[in-house]
Every structure is written in C-alpha cells, then in structure tokens.
Structure 1
Amino acid sequence: MVANASDLPVEQTQVLVIGASMVGMTLTALLAKHGVRDCIAVEKHSSTAIHPRAALFHPRTMQIYRELGLYDSMAQESTKHYDEYAGIFDVESLAGKFRRQWLANMNAGIESLSPVMRLYLTQQIFEPILLEKARTGGIDIRHSTELVSFCPDDAGVTALVRNRDTGQKSVIRAQYMIACDGSRSPIREALGIKMKGYGLMSHSLTIYFKADLGKYVIGKYNGVIYVNNPTLRGFFRLDKAGREGFLVVNMVGEKQHPADNITDERAAEFLKAAIGADASFEITLVAKWQARCEVAEKYLDESGRVILVGDSAHVVTPHGGFGGNTGIHDTHNLAWKLALVLSGKAGPALVTETYEKERLPVARKTVDQVFERYIKRVAPELREPYEKEGFVIEDEAEDAHLELGYRYWSRALDTDQKQSSETLENPKTATAKPGSMARHVFVQLMDSDDEEIPIADLLGESFVLILGSQASGWIQAAQFLQTEKQFPEVKIHQLKAGSEVEFCSRYGISSTGAVLIRPDGFVAWSESGPAVFGFGGMGIPDSAETLRCVLKKLLCLGDHIPSFIPQTAQGERLINRSEGLASITLSRALFTREQLLLEEKSRALKQIEEIERQLADVKRLSVLQDEMAMLSMKLLPVWSDATTNPPKHLFRIVA
C-alpha cells in the first residue's frame, strides 16, 4: 500500500517501469518507437552495468535491436572483443585435457533463418548504447531511484518512489506499472505470485577477473568454455584476447553450493583450478547467486495493471544465454500492445488477455530446456533425484527452434485456441501460419526498382499486409483502412511477379493470397487465395468484411472472423483459390451454398439426435425417481386406519 503522501509531489505518466537495466530499457525504447514517450523508468543502481553480464544475444533478440537501429553499432562493438563464429567447448581446464565440443560454430547456417546473427556483447558495453537510445526517444530514466510501495486499482497504479542519494520521495500515478525488477522481484513477492519449476539447484557464484590467458584461447577456444574437473564445474566466458571475462562456478566436487562461505582466497583457488596452470590474475568481483529454473504462475496482478517482465516473470541459469534474451522477447511482445491500448486503438484485453497467454508457455518451455542443459553440462548426478520426484526432463531441442521457432496462441491471432499445445516448430521447414514467427525470406516489392530485401525490413513499425503479385482483390478489400480511423495503421506491400516463389512457399499462400503480420513480427492471419466479392447473399463473407473482422479480433475489439471460403466437414476447400476470381461463377457459388446448407442440415439432425438422447435419459431418471417414491410409500405407514390393508398397487399419473 502507498504511504500517507499527501504532501508529496504527484506525477502522472502512462507507463512506469520499475528496473532500468537491459530488459527495462529495451521496453522503454520499444515503447518510444511505438509512440509512448510518456514513460518513466526508475532504477535503484546509480548507473548502467559495470560488470560483463549476459554476453550472448540470440538472433531473435538481434532482430529486435535491428528494428531499434542498434544492430550495426552492437555488431561493431562485438567484433572488437569477441569472435562471431565462436563455439561451445568442454575441457578439464583451460590448460588441460579437451573433453568434447557442444557446438562448433554458433552462427553456422543462421543466415538462412535470420537477417542477423548471434553475437557476444557484455551489458557494460551495451547498456550505455541502449540508455542513449531510450533517452533520445524521450524516455525519463532515473537512476538511484527505488520503489517504496505501490497500490494498483482498476484504472492504474499509484507508486511511491525514493531517490536513494537525496532521500526525496515522490508519488507517480501510472496507467500501467511494469515489473522489470529482477529474479527476486519485490513486486512479484508483494503481489503473492508464486514461482513454479525446479527450485533451487545450486548456490552458484560468478568470478569476474582480468588476466593474460591468450595462449589458452587464441586459435583454440573462443566462446563458452565449460570446465569439468574434480575441483569444480562451471564455465568461462572470455574476450578473444583472453584478457578479461568471468568464471561461473555451479558445482564444487559433488557439492551444489560453491557460494557458501566463499572468500577471496577460495575464489582464487577455484579460478586457478579452472585455468589449470600458473597464471596471474586480478579478481574484480565475486557475485553470489542462486541457480534456479522457474516461472511465475501468472504475469499480471488481479487489476491487470501490474505486469511482470523478464527475470521477475521467469528465472533460468545462464546455460545457453536464455535469461536476458527471453526477457527482451517479453518486451517486444508487450510494447506494441500497450501502445495500441493507451492510444485507444485496441481493447484492454490485448494486454490483459494475450501477453501472458502468449509469453507464459514460451517461458515454461525455455525453463524446461535450460534445466536440461544445466543437468547435461554441469550436474548429471541431479537427473535421478529429480526424476524420482516426478520431474520429466525433456530432450534437448535445437537452439534455433527455441530462438526462432516458438509460436503463440491467443485472441490476438487467427488461431484455434483448442490447438494450443504446440509451443515449438522447426523454423527451417515449418510453414509460417497464424501464431508463427515471420520466416526470413528475401522479397522484391511491386513498383520498386530496389533489389530484394529481407522481409524484416518491412516489419516492426505497424501491422503489415503482404500480398501476392496477383492479389489485387485484397488491395480493393483493404481500402476501408484508409478511411476507418478506429484501426491502427496497416502498411500494404505487394510482391513483384516472379520474385514471390519463396515467400509463397514459406507462408503457405498463392500469388493471389495475403498475409497479415503483427508489429512484433508474428503472422496474425493469412489467406492462401483471392479476395471474393458479391456473394454475401449466398453465405460467402465479403473480403472487406473479413479483413475488418480480422482486425477487430486481433485488437480484442471483437472475436468473430468469418470463414472466407466455406469448407466441407472434412476441411476441404469448396473453391480452389488458385483458379482465381474468374473461376468463381454463379453456378459454383450456388453449389457452394447448397453444400453449406446440406452440411448445416446434417449438423442440425445430429444435434436433434443428441437432444433426443438426453431427453430419453432425463425421462428414465424421472421414472426411477417416481418408482423410488412409490417404494417409500409402500414401506411407510401412511394410512390412518391400521386395520385397512394397504393397496396392492399405486398408479402413476402420466401427463
């Protein structure tokens, strides 16, 4: 609850972000990009990161930073310090025996799946770049400021914050408050939201240091270097010169808690054992942390005004670099939704009913997969105890499937929510259908002399309607978008004839079809064939009305999307869309209508049969009840004259 603050200044803002490290600042930068500049972010630390945390950025994350215009500067900084083709190795020690190679080249084959690659870049290098981007966008970021208390209600959140340097307090009133306050989130704990998963696995530690280890890594190991020996188990992350980095220690011998009773001397012993040879080094920090793989049971409070993002919503170990990356993907999912709700272009349910619905299953899958990697790479002896407790340890999925193949199911997509068990798909082979991440292909636009561009160049700002070269009917159907101001901007791009083969194949449409992609780069709706007009009286929805209903559903302003071309009960198309508009004759339309009515009649007859069955069941139960009542009447002395024989029969009156 907020303290008595009647004498304190009160500020109004649309969004209050608690926690302005990498995830929190990414959210503010994305909000600014989508037009929400009335945003305050508070961070308890006095500056951006001062230690090299969270070094690996996944390709999906780099796509997001590419949208923000940061990819080139990040890649330039990365190549100064790290090898873009690094691998993952397992050794007894840096100077000792090579054990195995988990991954030879982290970017092998990635160019066919993404316009950008994985790269290494520490938070101490990256966060100042991100801070400048957020502030340039108009975001008010306040360091040395902490949340004291908060009170949510149906209209927003009132928060009391305090400057840690001056002690000055102020009240901030926001429409939404976003908790980016870390794995031990005070906001999550105050709300009573529980974490579920694998619990505490280790009291781990990270040793940050400077040294001269180039002879052990240059031309040999450059990436993530796992260390497994009798003294410790964990991994190194070093720059390509071997002069700076950190050592994560998860296990000491057979013990799970290396951080217990840690001293500088003990940390030095761990570092020496991991190097495996005499070497001079300077330890700059020893950080203790808990190795956990857990996810919050829900992402929003009861009011729907307080939202968990990043580590406050899910916690994983650093094995695979999924922690920060998953948090950044949270922000990408949430930012455009908040922007549209705050602008009045979408219903509040776009935030309250789709953010958690889409992101929570992905987090659960990620937690399961990171736990599997932790068990396999540093703690195989934990497998049996967990399995005895009933945990099912998954097989390892390919990194690309986790990074570029996760999919969503929610009201904000044209998906069947009954089919919501599938979380991952193969981004190399799976067709991009509603709920899928947009597949990386090169396209050439109609009426443009430009060379082919990656489809990513069209995404990230707004909804995008991409049309085949013969899809002029969909352009006509979408004309209402120019006049109906209730909808947000939808950019329309038509592909040039002869350049669309790969796009149509990867997205499952013909040259007459259309694909609608959300601002976060997920396919929202698609139709493989042409727009149809003039058959509304025969039960075939008009294409413009179909698009209108699609947008209303995606924006949580309505739920019904009419079927564009009717289907049989077996799901077969009654009109072959690839034949084009010319083939849809009146006789075909009448035949279609006849088939629809026959199917409707069949369904009605089946419904009547079911009603008759239920009615018969009810009648049987009614008869049974009457017979039990009659039996009771036989057994009870209900006649006043004891000498009179009771009747031998009771008659049931049937209405």
Structure 2
Amino acid sequence: MDTPATTVETEVLIVGAGPAGAAAAALLSTYGIDNIVLNKYGSVSNSPRAHITNQRTVEVFRDLGLEGEVIRQATPQHLMGEHVYATSLAGDELGRLRTWYTHPHFKAEHDLASPCSVCDLPQDLLEPILVGAASSRGSSVRFDTELLTFTQDDDGVTARVRDRLAGTEYHIRSKYLIGADGGNSTVVKQLGLPLVGEMGSGGSINVVFEADLTRFVEHRPGDMYWFVQPGVGHGGGGIGVLRMVRPWAKWIGVWGYDVTAGTPSLTEADGIRIAHQLIGDDSVPVKIESMSTWAVNQVYAEDNTKGRVMCVGDAVHRHSPMNGLGSNTSIQDSYNLCWKLALVLRGQAAPTLLDSYREERVPVGRQIVDRASRSEGLMPPIFQALNLPRTPDAQSMQNALAALSEPTTAAWERRRAFDSALQDTIMCFNTHGVETNQNYRSNAVVPDGTPDSDAPRDEELYHFATTRPGRHLPHLWVTRDQQRVSTFDLCGKGGFSLLTGVSGGAWRDAAREISERLGVPIRVHTIGHGGDYEDSYGDYAAQSEVEEDGAILVRPDHIVGWRAATLPANPAAALGDALEQILGLRSGSSAATDDGVKVAVDA
C-alpha cells in the first residue's frame, strides 16, 4: 500500500506501556526486534496498584536479566505471609492465615517449583524496571502519545496516533500490532473482540497513605490485613483491607462504596477517616498521598487475535485482585507471544505459529477470571457464619462478634462455621497450580501420546512437575564446576534448548543438522556423569520422564515443545519433524518469507 509522508515504520507497534506492554517491549528488544511503544500518559504508573509478583513472572524477569533489580526493590516472601483477620489493625484478632506459600508445607513446594520466589513489587516500581530495560535495549518509548485508529492489510498495520503535547497526528506503519492498552482497550474495541462476563460488579476505594505502623505489624509481617467492620467494604461485604506498599511505612487502605449510588467524591478528610478506621487508632499520624476508585470486573475475551493484531494483558482478561493474577498473567501473555513474533519476523517460522498464542493463552485468561471470581465468593461465608446482614451496621457487628466468644452450644457452632470459612479463604491467595501449571494445547506443541490428566492432586492448588509436552519444564538443580545451576537457566533467552543424558550424544549432531537446515539455533545440554552438567542430586534422572538417551526440546518460553523417551533410529529426522511442526513449517502448512509474510507450501 502507499505510505503517507508522515509515517514512521517499525516491526512491532505496542499500544500501552503497563506491565504487559512494557514486558513485550523489553522482550522484543532483547530478541533484536524493532518496536515502538505508545503510552497515552506522560509517565509510567504513579500508583502501586498491582503488587503480587508470582514465581512464573519472576522467571520472566530472570530470563530477561532483571531478577536482581526486582529482588532489590521488592518486599520478599518472608515478609508477605501473615494475613490477619481482625476488627482493625489495633483491634481484636479473629484468626490468621499463612499465605503466599509461607506455611512450611507450601514453602517447600514453592521452593521445589522454581529457582525464583514470589515477592511483592508495586506496579509503580515494576513499570520503570521494564520500561527502562526496553528503552535501553532499543525500544522507542513514546509518552503522551495515544492511538486513535488503525487499519490492517495483508502486509501490515497502519496506526494513526496523536502526540498529545504537540497536538499533531501521524502514522506508524508496523508489521504487527500488540494491544496492551488495559481494561478500557481501544484496540479490543476497534477489533470487536468478543468479551464474556460482567463489568463494574462492585466498587472499591484505594487510599494510598504514609503512616508508621511498625508497632502493629512487625511481629506479624504480611502484605495484607483484613478487617471485619461495619459498612460497605471489599466486595460489598463489610471487609476492609490494609495493604502494605513498603514495610512498614506506606500503605493502601481499601474500602468500598455502593456503585448504585454513583462514584463518591473523596476529600483528604475521607481518606484519613478510612485509614484511621482500618488502623483502629486515630492518634496515628497519616499522610494521604492519593485516592482513587476502581470497579471489580469479571470479563475475558473469547479471542485475543485478529489478523496482524494481538491483544495481551487486561485488554483481554479483567478480574478482581484476588489471587494476585492480573499483572502476572499479563506479563506471561507477552512472554508467550514475543518469541513467536521474533521467529516469524526473522523468517524462521511461519505466521501460523502466531495462531498458537490464541490457542494457548485464551484458556489461561478464562481460567484466571473464573478463579478470581470464585475466590471473591469465599468472603461472604465469613459474614454468613456470623449471621450478619449484607451491609452490617456497627451495633449488629458488635453483637455478632461478642456472641462469637460466648461459651454456649450455639456459639460453638458459629465459631466452627466462622473458623472454617476463614480457613477456606486460603484459596484467595494460595493457588500455586493456577500460577505454574500451564498446560498448552496447540500446533506449537507436539504431543507424545501420554495421558494428559494424571496429576495426583488438585491442579489449581498444587504445582505439578512434568516434562509432558505443553507443560513448563520442571526446575531441577544440576551442577557444573561444583556450582548449582537450575535447568531453567539452561533454556530460554529467546532460543530453543535440547536436554539429554550422557548416552544421548547423537542428539548434538542432530541438533546441529536441523539448526543449519532451518536456520534456528538449538542449544544442547547433556546432563549426567561426565556430561555438560552433573546430575548431582539425581533429580534429572528421577524427574525427566525420559531415558538417558532420550531428549526434551524446550521452547524459548520454557515450555516443553516435544520429547523423545529414547533415542530413535534417526534422531535428526525426529527432531526436525518436531521443530518444523512447532514453527509451522511442516508440509501442507505455511512457510515464512524473509519479511514474515506467509507463502503457500505445496503438499
């Protein structure tokens, strides 16, 4: 098509510089792909909105070389886990949970699942890390620039954008566009992607404030404290939340409002009142930083791609903060997509590889919206156990809590119901399997015919380590020069890896042959006595689920793409067939030209 004179060209245009968009930019720039990022606003987020950073997301940062900076700025796991239920921070405790896998049982499983740990990194600290990495590695980040419209054709996407400072408009021509523009996505609206669910089902108020609450919390360190109080609180049920932003001096007070009465106008006095109500001591000095309102949404897109436009993050899945899945899933969307874009743009894969982004991530979006919604539903039983009205007043709350302590049979039954309801809320925080058990089914995964559902425990709650194709490569410690190395660190960094035992030397020649033929590098690592890495603990032999001469092909996103239980007669043919299927290069599919445009391949 004709290119207007006022057109800027790039390979990928990313709309939005939040967690999903900034992660996409950092990944693409690291992979050597030219990209432009648009941020409608003049800076990164100035609010600590999202904060839970789970293992899988820290793994993305580790793969990008950013884990050290994340750890330096984040609150570590051991300061996150004491979730207290009480009448206020200074008031009577009603119970506690050890969340975010800090209970010794869950901590062991957490540590076995990954070389990385969950941490608490507020969004206003996270975004500068990602945007800084992206820009230093080659991304063009354009603040105060908004997308107006876009059109796409067989060769690319033309976006019309506005420089909000200069008031001028121009075009950006790209081969692909990533819509990472959040819960009110312009890209999703213009694409007409089908959305399922409900928007604005509840209203909440965030009060960001500074206050030294050390004396209330240092003996029970956690990142959230939950208070049963009169009024309309979290989810409309009379629960207020104090969320730690920085230990123990910066906080967010979360309270609620009735959405049917409209969005409230908030004053500094309102913020101080809410903070003091949650603290339970109005003598504590409080400095209000900001106040905002937000709605609880339960929406996911049934499709995330149309033509050359793909959407990631909150643009295609919006839900409550329960389980801390939002920004994590958003960043992992980009991690799934960007290596595929890089291979297609380099001409190393067919554009049909990008179909696997839809096939693999739409089910994840559906799952997390459902999980967050069910977790929201775990709060009302606490009030039902207390026999409270939906919006309790001060007197009914006082009476119910007093009755809970009475030495009567009726109170005993109520205590059992209350304690059970409180313990059930652990699923609002500990869903390790939801975070770690990706199980992809797409053309970018080559199944091996083994059963798909043999996890011994609930896959939402518990991590399941397996090398079955479509699953995340298990984290196992191996050694080299007496130093421990995670299998995670043998893979990723934008490339394919092949893991095998010391009897699998033929795989190295096979990988070299296939790499030269397809132009796609494959790193090969042998594990075992005398191999590249020693299986010092015996974990690889025990958990690889292949024989010593078998092999595991790991995609750039650490997902197992294919495996061979044993060495076949022609390992190069087997490996080549698998990689060609993953890349969409098998006969009868589509191949890629140098500029990433598909051309037919004769059957």
Work out the CA distance in 2 between the residues paired with 1:174 and 1:142.
Answer: 15
Q: How does 1:434-449 map onto structure 2 within 5 Å?
A: 434-444=469-479, 449=481
2:41 and 2:132 map into 1 onto residues whose CA distance is 17
Rounded to whole Å, the distance in 1 between the matches of 2:240 and 2:174 is 43
Structure 2 residues not aligned, in runs of 5+: 234-238, 385-389, 391-423, 590-603
Q: How does 1:335-414 map to 2 (within 5 A)?
A: 335-351=338-354, 353-377=355-379, 396=427, 398-414=430-446
Equivalent residue for 2:287? 282
Q: State the structure with bigger RCO (CA 8 A, min sep 6), 1 or 2.
A: 2
Give the whole-Å Cα distance in 1 for the aligned partners of 2:369 and 2:337: 20
Is residue 2:544 matched to residue 1:516?
A: no
Deviation, structure 1 residue 426: 7.4
TM-score when normalising by structure 1: 0.75
Q: Please list, as runs of the form range in 1=range in 2, the aligned pairs for 1:573-588 lying within 5 A after superposition.
A: none
| In 2: Cα distance, 1:177 partner to 1:11 partner | 14
Alignment equivalent of 1:271, drawn from 255, 270, 275: 275
Equivalent position to 1:415, from 435, 441, 447 = 447
Amino acid at match of 2:54: H
What residue number does 1:641 align with?
none
Q: Secondary structure at the match of 1:205?
A: strand
Change in Cα spacing, 1:105 to 1:381, as seen in structure 2 (3 Å) is closer
8 Å Cα contact 2:77-2:100 kept in structure 1 = no
Provide the aligned C-alpha RMSD in A.
3.1
Equivalent residue, structure 2, for 1:122: 122
Shift of 1:215: 1.9
How far apart are residue 453 of structure 1 and its match? 0.8
Determine the C-alpha separation between the residues in 1 that align with 2:97 and 2:260: 25
Residue pairs, 1:542-621, within 5 angstroms = 542-558=570-586
Q: 1:330 to 1:373 in 2, by over 3 A?
A: same
Q: Give the match for residue 504 of structure 1.
A: 541
Q: Is the 8 A contact 1:259 1:288 kept in 2?
A: no
Alignment of 1:231-270 (within 5 A): 231=231, 232=233, 233-239=239-245, 241-249=247-255, 251=256, 255=258, 260-264=263-267, 265-270=269-274
Matching residue's letter, 2:444 = A
Structure 1 residue 74 corresponds to structure 2 residue 79 = no
Query: Quick check: 512-521 or 183-192, which moved more?
Result: 183-192
Counterparts of 2:448 and 2:47, CA distance in 1: 45
* Partners of 1:284 and 1:554 in 2: CA distance: 50
Which aligned pairs between 1:37-116 and structure 2 lie closer than 5 A? 38-79=34-75, 84-104=79-99, 106-107=101-102, 108-109=107-108, 110-116=110-116
Q: Which moved more, 1:491-500 or 1:321-330?
A: 491-500
Q: Are the aligned partners of 2:77 and 2:117 in contact in 1 as well (CA < 8 Å)?
A: no
Tell me the TM-score normalised to structure 2 length.
0.81
Gap change, CA 1:421 and 1:150, over 3 Å in 2: farther
Residue 457 of structure 1: how far off its partner (Å) = 1.2
Maintained 8 Å contact 1:206/1:287? yes
Mark the CA change 1:463 to 1:267 in structure 2 (over 3 Å): closer, same or farther: same
Deviation, 1:489, is: 0.9
Number of aligned positions between the proteins: 529
Secondary structure, counterpart of 1:280 in structure 2? coil
Distance 1:440 1:90, change over 3 A: same
Larger radius of gyration: 1
Q: Where does residue 155 of structure 1 map in the other structure?
A: 155
Structure 1: gaps (5+ residues): 386-392, 533-541, 562-655
Q: Report the CA distance shift for 1:243/1:208 in structure 2 as closer, same or farther (over 3 A).
A: same
**CA distance in 1 between partners of 2:325 and 2:578 (Å):** 33
* CA–CA distance in structure 1, aligned partners of residues 301 and 482 of structure 2: 47
Preserved contact between residue 368 and residue 394 of structure 1 (Cα < 8 Å): no
Q: Is the 2:554–2:560 Cα contact (8 Å) retained in structure 1?
A: yes
Match of 1:15 in 2: 12
Render the CA deviation track for 1:470-513: whole Å, top value 9, x for unaligned.
112323433413531x2411101111226273113222111111
Give per-residue Cα distances to partners, 1:335-362, cap 9 Å, x unaligned: 10000000010010111x1001101111
What SS does the corresponding residue of 2:252 show, helix, strand or coil? strand
- 1:132 counterpart letter in structure 2: G
CA distance in 2, matches of 1:374, 1:435: 30
The aligned amino acid for 1:194 is: P
Inter-CA distance 199–420: structure 2 relative to 1 (3 Å threshold): farther
For residues 348 and 205 of structure 2, the distance between their equivalents in structure 1, rounded to whole angstroms, comes to: 47
Secondary structure, aligned partner of 1:129: helix
The amino acid that maps onto 1:272 is H
Moved more, 336-345 or 14-23: 14-23
| Alignment check: 8 A CA contact 2:431 2:461 kept | no
- 1:258 Cα deviation after fit: 8.3
Query: Match of 1:146, SS?
Result: strand
CA 1:458–1:245 in structure 2 vs 1: closer, same or farther (change >3 Å)? same
